[in-house]
Amino acid sequence: MNRRRLIAWIATAVTSMMLVIGSQFVNFSPANSATTLNVYAASSLTNAMNDIKTQYQSANPSVNVVYTFGASGTLLSQIQAGAPADIFISAATDQLDVLQNSSPSKIVSGSRKNVVKNRLVLIAPTTAPVSAGSAALTTINGLTNANITGIAIGDYTGTPPVVPAGNYAKQVLTSRGIFTTVSPKLYLGSNVRTVLTAVENKTLNGHTIDAGFVYKTDAALSNKVRVVETALTTESDPITYPLGILTRTTVLSTAQSFSTYLSGATAQNTFKNTYGFILP
């Protein structure tokens, strides 16, 4: 009787061990794992794109959209260095041109399109204490006044420029014939949102800031700044946001789906009615 119990116990133990070992080879992963889509986009698109991501993923639960936001020139450099971007949305045509015109082209043929447009504005702080220069500023030409000592502007250096908003601002100042005059007052921000924050806080890298150039959509996000003047569309290159799908993508159909979604009614409504972008 004891021998039978011993044999039964051994049989049970062996069976349990086999089940444990076998379980190591069972795949408990979901039947359909999420597809990751890496989107590199200009900083000024941050808020709108985050809203659109929520909308898109709700309709496409198997897709995980991952954003990298930054200055368009910085993003271009990252992509050229091998960053795993599937889609690139710049705030100017120059950065997309570099990728598209390279040999071989790094942009999928036929994928390039403009998603939205924008306007450039000069802003000044509204929160106390406001300098006499900021308070009295009513036009872009007023930046030449001696009581304006610090102007925040996106980094317009480089080829193509690091921050398109800064390059647009330089073009506006040049069109008005005042760029050389105000150049000593210009302090460069790493992206357009850095410029917005600098005007809100009235300081950038230790320099007092009286005003700055951002997009109209950026200014609309803050109650700490006011729009002094909106630049004319004829004073700079058209402010467009071109999109291109990178040839390096391994999720082409998903990238195409997201690109199509950005041009659809739901996303375009978010861009225009929620954040103030201009439709292409």
The whole-number pLDDT of residue 12 equals 52
- Strands (DSSP E) found in the chain: 35-42, 63-70, 87-89, 113-117, 120-125, 151-154, 186-189, 203-204, 207-208, 211-215, 225-230, 240-245
199-206: average pLDDT: 97
The whole-number pLDDT of residue 25 equals 40
Domain boundaries, the chain: 35-117+240-274, 120-235
* Other residues' Cβ atoms within 10 Å of the Cβ of residue 5: 9
**Does residue 36 have a pLDDT over 80?**
yes
**Does residue 19 have a pLDDT over 60?**
no
Return the SS3 of 231: coil
Say how far apart CA 133 and CA 267 lie, in whole Å: 40
Say how far apart CA 204 and CA 223 lie, in whole Å: 19
**Does residue 142 have a pLDDT over 60?**
yes
Say how far apart CA 42 and CA 70 lie, in whole Å: 5
Q: How confident is the model at residue 264 (pLDDT cuts 50, 70, 90)?
A: very high
6-21: average pLDDT: 47
More confident residue, 11 or 82: 82
Strands lying side by side in the sheet with 35-42 = 63-70, 35-42, 87-89, 240-245, 113-117
Q: What one-character DSSP code corresponds to residue 232?
A: P
120-235 CATH:
3.40.190.10
191-216: average pLDDT: 98
State which amino acid sits at residue 198. Answer: A
Q: Identify whether the C-beta of residue 129 lies closer than 8 Å to the C-beta of residue 145.
A: no
Fold of 35-117+240-274: D-Maltodextrin-Binding Protein; domain 2 (3.40.190)
Judge if 35-117+240-274 and 120-235 fold alike in CATH terms. Answer: yes
Q: How confident is the model at residue 32 (pLDDT cuts 50, 70, 90)?
A: low
Q: Identify whether the C-beta of residue 86 lies closer than 8 Å to the C-beta of residue 41.
A: no
Verdict on whether the full-model pTM lies above 0.85 = yes
Q: Is the preceding omega at residue 129 within 30 degrees of 0, hence cis?
A: yes
The whole-number pLDDT of residue 9 equals 46
**Does residue 180 have a pLDDT over 50?**
yes
Q: How confident is the model at residue 3 (pLDDT cuts 50, 70, 90)?
A: low
State which H helix or E strand residue 86 sits in. Answer: none
The whole-number pLDDT of residue 121 equals 98
Q: How confident is the model at residue 33 (pLDDT cuts 50, 70, 90)?
A: confident
Q: What is the share, in percent, of the chain residues with pLDDT greater than 90? A: 88
